[in-house]
């Protein structure tokens, strides 16, 4: 589910974004995923967790359309979902919605873990089962260096200067700063920087996060690019101008596209939720089927305690000391004795051993014997698909209120239709030494649930 369905949805949604952006002047939503980090604690109750997650993401989506930032809480208890998302300060609302739509499509890959965060080049998103909004540092803080080009010391000086300015100005500017500093001794080279704190932090926490992040990120020098992915902030420097031009909220046409993209992204998340729900249902169905063997053991114990559990001596008398004349056939679990003709003629009582009747005085005993005969015939029907499962047969034996279907023909009805197999030399078939009986070879019984 996670690998194929979500991937296909992401590809289709990416195509939609491209089509929407054609023919209009817009910035770069920077939807490239830099890093996705998933928690290590599994969700508590999937049927609660998934709807809570979807609801949180939808709530945040409504806020992202108008402010580029959203925070929401859904549910209670261990499956409560806390979420936050924020676009970086240089993105327009249209680009912000596109970036968020990509983030909310990718983050469900963390399922079945109940927490995760994703850093894109244009936005950030995080979801947990606890309130993390005041956190600005953590064990998962890290830097990502672009190690394709080594730069001069002059570029390093410019990068440090532009980063210092951003760290200084961002905390008092809603946590956002951008900048450019020319590289001395060059005609057209500059160092560019972007800094963003999450709006859930106060000014002091924002400053501490940016100071820690910038110190680590500058360790990427002399490489041409570096990113700091911190719990409470994001920073990036580069020798390439990756910043969008600062602009307003865009035209009415852009607003309409924001609404369209938001609606489509919501549908994508709903479909992802439905796919996860189907996966959960299928998994539980398979587990329920596998538990059938345990059910069979319970029914076997019930049968063992019931009046239908006969002693060996009783069965020996009922079959005339296992007389070969009464033998119908032989399968993987032993010999089957004739009952079929009497059942068809309604004369099953002729099969009753007087000793059985004399030892059981209650009025319903004959009915119980008849029921055992009928169930035995159901279990020896010629078509294996018609035979009840072991657990079903045990239910038939112990739950007398269940109506039994009429049995179909067993594999062998009389001597004329029996296929006699000469296995006299095979010690596995000692009863066939005189050729008076047959071996049922129509089906093979196995210890696997249907």
- Choose among 102, 147, 174, 165: nearest CA to 238: 147
Question: Cα–Cα distance between 341 and 330 in angstroms, integer?
Answer: 18
Of the listed ranges 28-37, 275-284, 370-379, the one predicted with least confidence: 275-284
Judgement on whether residues 258 and 361 belong to the same structural domain of the protein: no
Of the CA atoms within 13 Å of residue 35, those in its CB half-sphere come to 15
Cβ(200)–Cβ(134) below 8 Å: yes
Final residue belonging to a domain, choices 246, 281, 316:
281
Judgement on whether residues 314 and 242 belong to the same structural domain of the protein: no
Judgement on whether residues 277 and 303 belong to the same structural domain of the protein: no
Judgement on whether residues 224 and 101 belong to the same structural domain of the protein: yes
Residue 368: predicted pLDDT:
78
Asked, as a colleague might, if the bond just before 135 is cis with ω within 30 of 0, I would say no
Of the listed ranges 275-289, 292-306, 398-412, the one predicted with least confidence: 292-306
Query: What is 111-153 written as a DSSP string?
Result: TTBS-EEEEESSEEEEEESS--TT----TT-EEEEEEEEE--H
Of the CA atoms within 13 Å of residue 168, those in its CB half-sphere come to 7
Query: b or e along 140-152 (b: 16 or more beta carbons within 10 Å of the residue's beta carbon)?
Result: ebebbebeeeebe
Which has more confidence, 195 or 423? 195
How many domains, the chain?
Answer: 2
CB atoms within 10 A of CB 198: 26
Judgement on whether residues 248 and 99 belong to the same structural domain of the protein: yes
Residue 273: predicted pLDDT:
65
Judgement on whether residues 360 and 417 belong to the same structural domain of the protein: yes
**Average of pLDDT values for 211-237?**
97
Residue 330: predicted pLDDT:
52
Would residue 188 count as lying in a domain? yes
235-286 pLDDT, tens per residue? 999 999 999 987 644 444 455 455 555 555 556 656 666 667 676 777 777 7
**Average of pLDDT values for 413-442?**
42
What are the tokens at 47? 């049927």
**Average of pLDDT values for 160-168?**
98
Cβ(390)–Cβ(302) below 8 Å: no
CB atoms within 10 A of CB 22: 6
Cα–Cα distances (Å) from 340 to 91, 116, 316, 406, in that order, read 82, 65, 19, 12
Would residue 362 count as lying in a domain? yes
Would residue 439 count as lying in a domain? no
Would residue 289 count as lying in a domain? no
64-102 pLDDT, tens per residue? 999 999 999 999 989 999 999 999 999 999 999 999 999
Final residue belonging to a domain, choices 226, 255, 281:
281
Question: Cα–Cα distance between 175 and 205 in angstroms, integer?
Answer: 10
- Is residue 440 very low, low, confident or very high in pLDDT (cuts 50, 70, 90)? very low
| Domain that residue 93 falls in | 5-281
Judgement on whether residues 328 and 265 belong to the same structural domain of the protein: no
Final residue belonging to a domain, choices 254, 281, 308:
281
Judgement on whether residues 276 and 413 belong to the same structural domain of the protein: no
Would residue 441 count as lying in a domain? no
Judgement on whether residues 269 and 405 belong to the same structural domain of the protein: no
Judgement on whether residues 327 and 258 belong to the same structural domain of the protein: no
- Choose among 198, 55, 196, 77: nearest CA to 126: 198
Would residue 343 count as lying in a domain? yes
Would residue 254 count as lying in a domain? yes
Residue 156: predicted pLDDT:
97
330-346 pLDDT, tens per residue? 544 445 556 877 777 77
Question: Cα–Cα distance between 439 and 82 in angstroms, integer?
Answer: 67
pTM of the model: 0.54
43: CATH = 3.30.430.20
- Choose among 144, 189, 198: nearest CA to 170: 198
54-66 pLDDT, tens per residue? 999 999 999 999 9
- Is residue 408 very low, low, confident or very high in pLDDT (cuts 50, 70, 90)? confident
Query: What is 245-299 written as a DSSP string?
Result: PP--S--HHHHHHHHHHHHHHHHHHHHHHHHHHHHHHHHHHHHHHHTHHHHHHHH
What are the tokens at 280? 């959960």
Residue 396: predicted pLDDT:
82
Percentage of the chain modeled with pLDDT above 90:
45
Judgement on whether residues 272 and 304 belong to the same structural domain of the protein: no
User: Which phi and psi (to 5°) does residue 235 adopt?
Assistant: -135, 150
Of the CA atoms within 13 Å of residue 146, those in its CB half-sphere come to 13
Report the range out of 277-281, 365-369, 384-388 with the highest average pLDDT. Answer: 384-388
Judgement on whether residues 157 and 42 belong to the same structural domain of the protein: yes
Question: Cα–Cα distance between 163 and 202 in angstroms, integer?
Answer: 20
Would residue 447 count as lying in a domain? no
User: Which phi and psi (to 5°) does residue 259 adopt?
Assistant: -65, -45
């Amino acid at each position: 589910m996670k690998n194929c369905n979500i991937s296909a949805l992401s590809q289709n949604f990416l195509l939609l974004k491209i089509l929407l952006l054609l023919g209009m002047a817009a910035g770069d939503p920077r939807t490239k995923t830099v890093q996705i980090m998933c928690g290590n604690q599994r969700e508590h109750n999937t049927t609660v967790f998934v709807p809570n997650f979807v609801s949180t993401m939808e709530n945040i989506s409504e806020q992202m359309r108008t402010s580029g930032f959203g925070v929401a809480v859904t549910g209670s208890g261990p499956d409560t979902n806390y979420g936050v998302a924020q676009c970086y300060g240089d993105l327009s609302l249209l680009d912000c919605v596109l970036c968020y739509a990509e983030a909310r499509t990718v983050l469900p890959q963390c399922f079945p873990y109940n927490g995760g965060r994703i850093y894109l080049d244009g936005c950030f998103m995080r979801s947990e089962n606890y309130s993390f909004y005041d956190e600005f540092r953590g064990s998962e803080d890290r830097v990502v260096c672009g190690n394709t080009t080594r730069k001069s010391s002059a570029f390093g000086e410019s990068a440090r200067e532009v980063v210092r300015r951003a760290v200084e100005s961002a905390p008092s500017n809603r946590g956002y700063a951008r900048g450019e500093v020319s590289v001395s001794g060059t005609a057209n080279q500059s160092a560019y920087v972007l800094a963003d704190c999450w709006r859930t932090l106060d000014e002091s926490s924002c400053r501490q996060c940016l100071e820690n992040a910038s110190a680590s990120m500058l360790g990427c020098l002399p490489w041409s690019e570096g990113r700091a992915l911190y719990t409470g902030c994001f920073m990036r420097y580069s020798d390439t101008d990756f910043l969008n031009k600062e602009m307003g909220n865009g035209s009415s046409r852009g607003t309409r596209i924001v609404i369209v993209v938001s609606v489509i992204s919501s549908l994508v998340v709903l479909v992802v939720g439905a796919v996860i729900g189907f996966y959960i249902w299928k998994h539980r169905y398979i587990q329920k089927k596998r538990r059938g063997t345990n059910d069979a053991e319970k029914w076997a114990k019930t049968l063992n305690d019931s009046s239908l559990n006969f002693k060996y001596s009783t069965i020996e008398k009922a079959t005339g000391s296992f007389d070969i004349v009464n033998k119908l056939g032989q399968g993987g679990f032993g010999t089957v004795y004739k009952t079929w003709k009497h059942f068809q003629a309604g004369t099953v009582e002729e099969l009753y051993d007087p000793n059985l009747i004399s030892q059981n005085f209650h009025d319903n005993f004959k009915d119980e014997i008849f029921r055992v005969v009928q169930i035995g015939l159901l279990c020896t029907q010629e078509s294996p698909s018609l035979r009840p499962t072991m657990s079903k047969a045990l239910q038939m034996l112990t739950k007398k209120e269940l109506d039994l279907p009429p049995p179909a023909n067993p594999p062998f009805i009389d001597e004329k239709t029996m296929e006699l197999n000469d296995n006299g030399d095979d010690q596995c078939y000692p009863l066939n030494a005189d050729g008076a009986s047959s071996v049922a070879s129509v089906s093979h019984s196995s210890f696997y649930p249907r």
